[in-house]
Chains A and B, each alone.
Chain A
Amino acid sequence: MSSEKRELCLSGSGVTKVFGFGDKKTVAVDHVDFDFYTGELISIVGESGSGKTTLVKMLLGLTGVTEGDISFMGQKRDIRTHRKKKEYWKGIQAIFQDPFSSFNIFHKIDSVLLDCINMRGGRRLPKETKIEMMTEACSFVNLKFEELTNKYPFELSGGQMQRLMIARIFLLKPKILLADEPTSMIDACSRATILDMLMDLRRETGMMIIFITHDIGLAYYVSDSVYIMERGRFVEYGSADEVILNPKAEYTKRLLTDVPKIHDPWEFSRNKRYDFRKPPEAADGK
């Protein structure tokens, strides 16, 4: 990691999120500071319930920040109006944890992809161009648009849905992608495919990826910087090598002891969560 000319893209200071009042108060995110640079791949690692999703929602502007500031491209983020929000979301997009609840079951796949083209100002493009763009996006994630058109998202498998999500990102080409455990709900084979595709996409567009995971081995393999999150706080952060090969915090050490072999890529399915709703998909990655 050379320190020359690193452009600060997203940063926060004292970012806090509190749910509820009084006795029911939960501090989901507790005064976290961070600096994310353009083009970096950052991992945020933490156990279940440590506040990762909450932080993602705050970064996306989907939920309010109780305390603290978030800056975007060096300026204090301003998303008070719908128009400003829309502008902000052109630059920052996300893939959610659970693909099964990420799509509106009443909208067809076409409309999901068309929304992305419209978002990028392609509303007036001729129909053929739009179809061409959608076909390209689908083939990027190894899906066939002709087979998807006029289908509903719930007719796809979890892995296919998550790839559709990536196709969305492919069309939107945002500056920042927040990937909130995009592989936690799908089987190991599709997991590798999804990760591959994310890496391809990053190579192609140079976007910054904030990768949320509870798998520290995976974080080490993919990321430049790693933030370790414990109960709403960042207990340790730095470059992937620094944090994982030379951990200082107890929590990081504990996370590391759970991982059998760090250096084997795609082997770290510590928390293999098989999806029982659909049979495991055959590996059809690149």
Chain B
Amino acid sequence: MKNTLRQVFRPGKFLAGFIIFAFILLLTVLYPLFNPGDPLAMIGLNNFTKPGTYVSVYDSLNVNRTFVFKLPDAAEKRIGSKLFPEDRETIKDYLTRLGLPEDSIDIDDTHDLMALWWNNYDPANQIGKTIAERRAYTALDNKLAGIFVSEDLEVLQYDPGTDEYVRKKMVTENDYVNVGDVANTIWLPLGTDNFGADMLKKLVSAIGTSLLIGLIAGVVATMIGLLLGLLAGYLGGIADDVIMFFTNLFTVIPGFILLILISYSIDQSRRGATTVAIVIGLTSWVWTTRSVRAQVISLRNRDHVNLSKLSGHSLPRIVVGDILPYIASYVVMAFILQISSAILAEAGLSMLGLGPKTTDTATLGLVMEWSIMKSAAHISGAWWAYYPVIIVIALISFSLNLMNTGLDQIFNPQLRD
């Protein structure tokens, strides 16, 4: 067992293909665990939101304040906003009493106003008429000094369990807040699609569905192809003639055309992902049949088959024990190729609008179709809506094909060393 595994992973090509494929597979399995929920749920109102981290502005407390981000002179403006008009009047009042010309004082220019105050205010020089006035000047001076000490801000998150706001983090006013500490942010690594659904989440779910489609179609096609090929090749005679008649019939009609016709004739509501997968499988067994048959014919007259017969083995045992192992590598390779071509076929069908007609699952083909639908992603420059899909489809095909080439050594003990 250990040796077999070693044999399997020795060829570099197989290993490379396997790693890529395993990564994709792992992504489809693990990602939903970290990011559960409906992959098609619309999270934003905008089409094609750019990739990035977003903070929801909808369900935050309405604090009646506008935060303007990345403001120049942030400190000054912040102070300016804290200096109320009556404070400014008081400053002007004080300065005019000191004897400064009234028109040189602009109460709207915070910077100058503050500079004048600090240059001229003298706690010893109490020029107020009343005690109250004098106190007011002292208080104002204290306040102005305090403006430069930044306050702490609390980042709160509502906890529906206790119906309370829980403090997640304390930050000083003039500091940065970690996005992770802010409640209700959403990370959209690939932005959103034209429906406002999380593109990455949808893509991952689409990969899963497409792989399943590939698997089902591959199993159906390989099973039919293998069975018919074995029967035609081993039995020969009339069985061969009948099977080859149908095989030739299917060869003459291009598979994709047939696929389109069948898909078209199936009621839209019943055209789910599984149905499409089976239809793809039913139209792509021809080449497997032909080549399995050809190989079986050359094998059935070999002496090891004759020897097996002479040893009294039954027909099923000969087919399974003496024919199948010799073509197993081929069949597995054909199977892997069927998977990748089925994924491509689904993509093709979906682009024609004949793919799975479901609004609750995504497939790679459907994701492609949606991205070019009304608000064409490639026109609006939303690269994240179609490049990732294309890359994923290419990667799946590529990894499957790589694995294919490395497989021969595993199945043929004579090639092992």
Contact = CB atoms under 8 A, between A and B. Distances in A.
A90 B310 CA distance: 8
Nearest to B314: A82
A96 B307 contact: yes
A105 B416 CA distance: 12
Interface stretch (B30-38, B58-66, B81-89, B298-306): B298-306
A119 B413 contact: no
A256 B307 CA distance: 33
B303 A119 contact: no
A194 interface: no
Given A62-B309, A93-B310, A154-B413, A102 B315 contact: no
A90 B311 CA distance: 9
B58 to A, nearest CB: 65
Contacts of A116: 311
B321 A107 contact: yes
Interface in B288-340: 302-304, 306-315, 321-322, 325-326
B414 interface: yes
B312 to A, nearest CB: 4
B312 A86 contact: yes
B304 A102 contact: yes
A104 interface: yes
B303 A106 contact: no
Nearest to B307: A102
* Most central of B303, B304, B309 by chain A CB within 10 Å: B303
Contact of A105 (B307, B309, B312, B413): B413
Contact of A62 (B306, B325, B326, B412): B306
Interface string B392-413: 0000000000000000000011
Contacts of A98: 303
Contacts of B309: 62, 85, 89
Interface in A69-101: 82, 85-86, 89-90, 93-94, 96-98, 101
Interface size band for A: 20 to 34
A115 B414 contact: no
Nearest to A53: B303
A28 interface: no
Contacts of B326: 106
Most B Cβ at <10 Å: residue of A57, A62, A85, A93: A62
A97 B313 CA distance: 21
In this complex, which of B302, B307, B309 has the most chain A Cβ atoms within 10 angstroms of its Cβ?
A: B307
Nearest to A89: B310
B304 A101 contact: yes
Given A62-B306, A96-B306, A98-B303, A105 B311 contact: no
Given A82-B315, A106-B325, A107-B321, A154 B414 contact: yes
> Counting chain B CB atoms within 10 Å of each CB, which of A106, A107, A154 scores highest?
A106
B312 A106 contact: no
A98 B306 CA distance: 12
Interface residues of B, number: 20
B308 A104 contact: yes
Nearest to B324: A106
A103 B312 contact: no
Contacts of B312: 86, 89-90, 115, 118-119
B303 A96 contact: yes
A101 B303 contact: yes
Contact of B304 (A82, A85, A90, A103): A103
Contacts of B302: 101
Contacts of A96: 303, 306-307
A94 B303 CA distance: 10
A105 B302 CA distance: 12
A221 interface: no
A94 B413 contact: no
A60 interface: yes
A119 B321 CA distance: 17
Nearest to A106: B325
Contacts of B306: 57, 60, 62, 94, 96
Contacts of A101: 302-304
B310 A105 contact: no
Interface string A185-209: 0000000000000000000000000
A83 to B, nearest CB: 10
A185 B309 CA distance: 23
A152 B415 CA distance: 13
Contacts of A104: 304, 307-308, 321-322, 325
A98 B413 CA distance: 19
A115 B322 contact: no
Interface in A89-137: 89-90, 93-94, 96-98, 101-107, 112, 115-116, 118-119
Given A57-B306, A104-B321, A119-B311, 6 more contacts: A82-B314, A94-B306, A96-B306, A102-B303, A104-B307, A154-B413
| Top-5 shortest CB links A-B | A115-B311, A106-B325, A96-B303, A86-B312, A102-B303
12 contacts: A62-B306, A85-B309, A89-B310, A89-B311, A103-B307, A104-B322, A105-B412, A107-B321, A115-B312, A118-B312, A152-B413, A154-B414
Interface of B: 302-304, 306-315, 321-322, 325-326, 412-414
Interface of A: 57, 60, 62, 82, 85-86, 89-90, 93-94, 96-98, 101-107, 112, 115-116, 118-119, 152, 154
